[in-house]
Amino acid sequence: MKEYTKSKLNRVKRGQNRAVYDIEKINEILDAGFLCYVGYIYEGNPISIPMAYARKDDKIYLHGSTANRMLLAILQSKKTSITVMHLDGLVIARSGLHHSVNYRSATLFGSLQKIDDDNEKSDILELIVNQMIPNHWDSLRPMHQKELDRTLVVEFTIETASAKVRAEGVNDEPEDYELPIWAGVIPVKQIAEYPIADKGKPEKMNIPNHILEYYHQNKS
């Protein structure tokens, strides 16, 4: 079992019993989604925004317009942090203080570089598309050169990371357990609804198998 080395940067201080440093388990959290939150400083103001991403080995890939101020800012600083979080349940306690959520979250710290090679950029964009919908890239038309020219691709190397996971029930005060108040967990998950065709030709086409496969795997 390989773990990230604990340091002041990545060590979980509150709720240390929920801390995870295992690389494989953190990668599982990353691979379970495709949206992350990226932190950066713009003109002295801290900002965090959601971005689509893909992971390959110890790399996280982001993309956007060549004028994207967040990507330009983190490239200039050469460092950033990235957070991925999945909400798994609402923990309903007998008191407001003990309400909580079940979740899986990972925070990554690392360095960045810009990807300039067009072939490498195309490969990375394929990773990002396929992390959202598996096997989708091959069904798309090839990218135009002007699209590649307008796209900024950034490679983030995970240098250290940590995760927190809560997957348990209610933790109320001992004296509150006999109160006539309902308590428990409401499981929460993101589901896919049946695909809706765009106007025009797609309305007359069969839905591709890989789209239907995604729907069936995520509909409940």
CATH of the domain at 120: 2.30.110.10
Report helix, strand or coil for 135.
coil
Mapped onto helix, strand or coil, the DSSP state of residue 28 is helix
pTM exceeds 0.85, yes or no: yes
Task: Indicate if 130 and 216 belong to the same structural domain.
Answer: no
- In-domain check, residue 6: no
At 166, the amino acid letter reads R
Can you read off the two tokens belonging to residue 161? 């990371």
Residue 112 in tokens: 């960045």
Beta bridge partners, 42, equal 45
Q: pLDDT tens digits, the chain, 220 residues: what are they?
A: 899 999 999 999 988 999 999 999 999 999 999 999 999 999 899 999 999 999 999 999 999 999 999 999 999 999 999 999 999 999 999 999 999 999 999 999 999 999 999 999 999 999 999 999 999 999 999 999 999 999 999 999 999 999 999 999 999 999 999 999 999 999 999 999 999 999 999 999 999 999 999 999 999 8
- Asked if 162 and 96 sit in the same domain, the reply is yes
- The answer to whether 94 touches 14, Cβ cutoff 8 Å, is no
